[in-house]
């Protein structure tokens, strides 16, 4: 089965959970995240240090 590319529109609580689940699933690839109300560095920080689900074990980079 081919890999599924996904984009996430909004990076609040649900968007971050969808991103985490997609990264853990080897059949999906996150290709874009859009949230006009957050800057990029803050999005990376919120993803890396989740107060409910704990620190993300992988590497978090911004481009």
3-57 pLDDT, tens digit per residue, is 999 999 999 999 999 999 999 999 999 999 999 999 999 999 999 999 888 999 9
Burial (CB count <10 Å: 0-12, 13-18, 19+), residue 9: exposed
Categorize the per-residue pLDDT at 63 as very low, low, confident or very high, splitting at 50, 70 and 90.
confident
Do residues 35 and 47 lie in contact, with contact meaning Cβ atoms separated by under 8 Å? no
Full residue range of the structural domain in which residue 12 is found: 4-53
Residue 61 in any domain: the answer is no
List the beta bridge partners of residue 50. 54
* Placement of tokens 């649900």 in the chain: 14
CA 40 to chain centre: 12
Residue 13 in any domain: the answer is yes
The pair of structure tokens assigned to 45 is 């920080």
Number of domains comprising the chain: 1
pLDDT at 28: 96
Residue 28 in any domain: the answer is yes
């Amino acid at each position: 089965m081919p890999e599924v590319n996904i984009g996430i529109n909004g990076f609040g609580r649900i968007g971050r959970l969808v991103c985490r689940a997609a990264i853990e699933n080897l059949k999906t690839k996150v290709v874009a995240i859009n949230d006009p109300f957050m800057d990029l560095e803050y999005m990376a920080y919120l993803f890396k240090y989740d107060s409910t689900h704990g620190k993300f074990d992988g590497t978090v980079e911004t481009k």
